[in-house]
Amino acid sequence: NSGANIADYDLPILSARVDELFGNRLIDDELRPEPLLLCDHAAAAAVSQLNADQRFIFEMLIESTLACSPGLFFICGHGGTGKTFLWNAILTHLRSRQKIVLVVASSGVASLLLPKGRTAHSRFKIPFDLDESSVCGVKRGTMLSELIQRTSLVIWDEAPMTHRHCFEALDMTMRDILSEHKAENANIPFGGKPIVLGGDFRQILPVVRKGSRSAIVNASITSSPLWQHATVLKL
């Protein structure tokens, strides 16, 4: 999980890759079914409880994901509008069809509300000290890079509280990883993977040490060049 390998500690090198012998444990973990969550009945029940706005967004995101269409979506809604309920419906529907959905959040508390949720920094190895040229600690040929290649959708909850450099680092990393087998993905935001961001800009924004109001606004995802590619949907 730390990104180190046995060569860093002067240990004997394996004659074959462990994941070739035993498989990719990260992919196996994501595909492992969860009791009472991934059956078709549970997926249908979750979808049936969506309201009109939620269902519209649900159908748009499912269609984009199943078509493997690139896209950056931002789901905007204040507390109580059902963003978490919508995430769970999407997760249940796609995972019941053996699709890999990586679900992350900007805070540990928010990640606990989502099945197999992780913090974004933990999942994508985002550095803590960032600038506009930073990238994530994910290298080609690793189990994590293969997981990202197999992923059908990424959901990032509470996105507005994260500095835009985090999204830009993930964007550059995914372009690099996903262009390994398809060169044109280097020119598509997030390497062509559909990305769903969610949150409320009326709540906590990125923390900038001794930052002015303009500095905080400049740190927001809305100030990133990526934002021009975003489709904003409201709950």
pTM beyond 0.75: the answer is yes
Of 148, 151, 146, the residue nearest 18 (C-alpha): 146
> What does the pLDDT read at residue 24?
85
pLDDT at 38: 55
Residue 37: the pLDDT is 56
**pLDDT value at position 3?**
56
pLDDT in tens, 119-148: 999 999 999 999 999 999 999 989 999 999
Q: Helix, strand, coil: what percent of the chain each, to 5? A: 50, 10, 40
Res 40 pLDDT > 70: no
Does 10 or 29 have the greater pLDDT score? 29
Distance, CA of 182 to CA of 78 (rounded, Å): 38
**Paired tokens of 38:** 């991934």
Check: CB of residue 106 under 8 Å from CB of residue 162: yes
The pLDDT, as a whole number, for residue 71 is 96
- For the chain, the average pLDDT equals 90
The type of residue at 163 is H
What confidence score (pLDDT) does residue 16 get?
58
Domains in the chain with CATH codes? 25-234 (3.40.50.300)
The tokens describing 16, both together, are 């074959």
Give the pLDDT mean for 29-41.
70
Q: For 56-73, how does the pLDDT look when each residue is reduced to its tens digit (9 = 90+)?
A: 999 999 999 999 999 999
Task: Give pLDDT tens digits for 181-201.
Answer: 899 999 999 999 999 999 999
Comparison of pLDDT for 42 and 195, the residue scoring more:
195
pLDDT tens, residue by residue, 150-165 = 999 999 999 999 999 9
Query: What SS3 class is residue 196?
Result: strand
Residues 69-90 pLDDT 10s: 999 999 998 888 899 999 999 9
Confidence of residue 21 (pLDDT cuts 50, 70, 90): low
